[in-house]
Structure formats: structure tokens, C-alpha cells
Amino acid sequence: MNLLIKNGTLVTAEKTEKADILVSGEKIERVAPEIKQVQGAVREIDATGRLVIPGGLDPHVHMHLPTPAGFSADDFESGSRAALIGGTTTMIDFVTPRKGQQLTQALDERLAEASSSLIDFSLHVSPVEWHQKLEDEITNCLKRGIRSFKVYMAYLETIGLTDDVLEKVLAILGKHGAMLTVHAEVGAEIERLRNGFFESGKTEPLFHALSRPPHTEAEAVKKVLAMAKKANCQVYLVHISAAASLSHIEAAQSDGQHVFAETCPQYLLLNDLAYDKKLERALPFVMSPPLRKKVDNEALWKALAKGTIQSTGTDHCPFNLEQKLLGKDDFRKIPNGAGGVEHRLALLYTFGVREKRISLNRWVDICSATPAKIFGLFPRKGSLEPGTDADIVIWNPEIRQTISAKTHHQRCNINVFEGVKTIGGPEYVIAAGKLAVQKGALSNEGLKGRFLKQC
Ligand code: URP
Ligand code: ZN
């Protein structure tokens, strides 16, 4: 059946205009000031007073991530459901091979896991060690539509890469025109600080944060950008949290390097006072990088408005309180991460658009269009052009909600945004032409996410 969205205010990264949209099958068929005549059966939605935006694209989620504390609490099905309810219709997750495993084999395994996703998805692939066949494996991934390779400068004991390996990986990616997606934290210094704190009896969550001071992010950013310049490789910096990182990013961008930066709602809205709380209340906030200070929040907002930071993700990686408690006597054992895939659009609308830190168009840009462009998914995703995927959110600017683990759709019994009040939210969400959310409730009939090749 066709879907006709009438009388809405269309907002894309470029423009805001009053127009109607006709959806036919999985695609947007027509956009015009007034669409009157439609052939065949049509369901009409009156979007008077609503914003009509492209579905959100979250470039950074970890569904069903294996850790020593068990899997992250959302799998692809539950996490994509929460995403949809929040207005996100595409996500990019990760492929993290076991040591010794081929990248494409790990990719196949992850594709099987991701097949339960209700929304379209793509994947970043992580080289986690050096070996002679790595270039072949990377080119095999490229042939299969993966252009983004995620490396970790932290977590050296497990999946992190040392500088010499990173240099070799960068050379391969630069040669093939691929993207280095990077978690920038100086792993060696963090390991030293972590172990030092623990050995002197400092075991609480606060010491997770103190063992990852802002300069460990800023120095890693500076270093990887210098290495990427040498290798002529484009870079996407995930979850930038510290104001101290921004001057390095700006310097590289002014120098003409292809450098993109992402931040997340938690680094814009939460701060390190969270770690001063009692154990059970501090545990949810253990994530890497850790929360910073209010001045960092404000610097990140400015960087988003100015364009130094072009993208937002959530780093959605929720763990239940019972999992977090596994580190109650040793902060090094607390699984890192927090959920948020459901809340990104509403949080950035409430605290970004409504508080005039960013414009409406910039909101769409950082939540959808630019991540789609960076990862080779635009204009199929992130636009409202005829011929593109009908992933559309009808946004009611007046919906009021209070975020809570009791009512959210993420499969997790804690929420770092507990009690935060948002204004504005999705009323209808259309995913690949299907009406997936109506009046805030999911109808998952026939929803089936597809793997998206990055081009
Ligand atoms: O604390 C975090 N961010 N956990 C998820 C894994 C990662 O480092 O991105
Ligand atoms: Zn992450």
C-alpha cells in the first residue's frame, strides 16, 4: 500500500519546507508542495504541526557484544526495536574477530547474528592483530561492501593495536581508500594508571574515570591523526569526549586532512560528578572514554555547531546492573558501556535544537545525513529525495517524556539518562516503507533489516 504524508514540515540537512511525501513500496516516490492524486490504495497521515525528517542513522552501536561480564544486554532484535521507537532506522555495528579468525569469517558470523535486526544496518570490521594476510582480508571485506575498519588504541590486552601494527593497518587502508574508524585513547598509559590505582586499594568506579584522563584521549587523537596523514588515510574518530581533543581535530581539518569526528549524547549532557555517587549509582556510568566535566560538554556542543564534530552516535552498549556489579570490588572488571540508541534524537532535539545550540537542519545533519555520507550510505539513507529508501520519522515537537529504565524499550535495567525530561519525539516511524511505529507503539509486522553495503 502507498503512504501519503500530508501537510508536514520537511526538514533535511539542507532545507526546511512545507511539502507532502508519497511513499510507494520501500521507496519515496514523490515530494511536492501538494500531492492530490494517487493511484491505488493509499493510507494518509496528516502531519500538520509535525516535522518530517529522514530516519536517524546511528553509526556506533554494540548489540550482543561479548565481554567477560557476558553479552551487552540488547541483541539486534531488541536493540533495533528500541532504535526504531526513538526514530533511528539505520545502525552501524561492529565485527570483532577472535584472535586468529579471518575478518570475512567473523563478518559472516556477525551477519548471521544481525539478521534479527528490524532495521537496516551496516558493519565496521575490526582488525585486532597483525598478520601477513591482513591486506588480502581487508580487500575481501572491501569487495563485500565494508569500507570502515575500526581499531582500538585502548584495550591493549585484548583487541587493541599497538602503534607499529596501527601504522601497518593505516598503510593498507590508505592504499585502498578505506576509512580508519578509531577509538582513540592511549592504551599503555591507561593500563599503567588502572593497575596502579587498583594495587593501591582504589577499586571504585571513580578510578575508572581517573585512569582515563582527558589527555589520554587528546594525545591518542593527535598521534593517530599524524599517522593517518603519513598514510594518506581518512579517519573517523568515535566518541570524542574531551575538549582537549578538539584543537588536534581542527588542526588536521585545517591542514586538509579528511578527518571526521563523532560525539555521543552522554558526552554532551552528563558529567563526571556521576562517579562521586554511591557504588550502585556510579556503576552505570562506567564507559570508555569516561564522562568529563561540564566545560567539556559545552566545548563539544560548540564543536558540533561549528562543524569540527560532524556526527553523533550513541555507542549503545548497555549492561544490566548485575553485570556491572561484577566489578564492585575492582573497577577494571566493570563492563564498559551504556545504552542510548533509543534516546539520541530526542536528547539532541531537546538540549540541542530547543536550547538553540544547534539548528533544526544541523540536528538532522548530525543524526542522519552526515553519518550516512561518511559511511557511503547517502543518499539512500539520510535524505528525503525521491528514489531513496522510505525511512521517515514524523516528529511531534511537543511530545514530553521522562527517560527511565522502567519505561524504555532498551533491554536493560539501568539507564544513564534516568529522569531526564525530553520534549519532542517520534509519533510515526516508517522503515523501508513500512509503518513501524504508530503513536509511539511498535508494530513489527514484516520488519526485516537488510545489510547495507558502504559505497
Ligand atoms: O565503554 C564503551 N564505550 N563500551 C563499548 C565499547 C567501546 O569501547 O566502544
Ligand atoms: Zn563503541
| C-alpha–C-alpha distance, residues 133 and 357, integer Å | 47
Distance, C-alpha 300 to centroid of its chain: 16
Residue ranges per domain, the chain?
A: 54-374
Calculate what percentage of the chain has a pLDDT beyond 90: 98
pLDDT cut 70: percent of the chain above it: 100
Task: Centre a 10 Å sphere on the Cβ of residue 25 and count the other Cβ atoms it contains.
Answer: 12
Confidence (pLDDT) at 41: 86
pLDDT of residue 376: 98
Residues touching ligand 1 (Cβ under 6 Å) are 62, 183, 287-288, 315, 317, 336-337
Q: Rounded to an integer, what distance in angstroms lies between the CA atom of residue 313 and that of residue 454?
A: 17
What does the mean pLDDT of the chain come to? 97
Residue nearest to atom 7 of ligand 1 (CA): 288
Answer for the pair 385, 31: CB distance below 8 angstroms, yes or no. yes
Distance, CA of 371 to CA of 253 (rounded, Å):
17
What pLDDT, on a 0 to 100 scale, did the predictor assign at position 367? 99
What pLDDT is stored for residue 155 in this prediction? 96
Residue 348 clears pLDDT 90, i.e. is over it = yes
CATH number of 54-374: 3.20.20.140
Measured in angstroms, how far is the CA atom of residue 267 from the centroid of ligand 2? Answer: 13
Answer for the pair 237, 152: CB distance below 8 angstroms, yes or no: no
Handedness of CA 110, 111, 116, 122 (dihedral sign): positive
Which residues contact residue 236 at a Cβ distance below 8 angstroms, ignoring those fewer than 6 apart? Answer: 59, 148, 179, 180, 181, 182, 260, 261, 262, 311, 374
What are the phi and psi torsion angles at 236 (to 5°)?
Answer: -120, 115
Average pLDDT over residues 222-247: 98
Q: Give the Å distance between the CA of 337 and the centre of ligand 1.
A: 5
pLDDT per residue as tens digits for the range 36-83: 988 888 999 999 999 999 999 999 999 999 999 999 999 999 999 999
Separation CA 273–CA 206 (nearest Å): 9
10-48 confidence digits (pLDDT tens):
999 999 999 999 999 999 999 999 999 888 889 999 999
Q: Is the dihedral of CA 67, 69, 75, 78 positive or negative?
A: negative
199-214 mean pLDDT = 98
Q: What is the Å distance from ligand 2's center to 60 Cα? A: 6
Predicted confidence band of residue 444 (pLDDT cuts 50, 70, 90): low
Nearest CA to ligand 1 atom 5: 337
Computed from CA positions of residues 260, 311, 112, 407, in that sequence, does the dihedral angle turn out positive or negative? Answer: positive
**Which residues have CB under 8 Å from 187's CB, separation 6+?**
152, 153, 154, 155, 156, 160, 162
If you measure from the C-alpha of residue 40 to the centroid of ligand 2, how many angstroms do you get, rounded to a whole number? 45
pLDDT range class, residue 340, cuts 50, 70, 90: very high
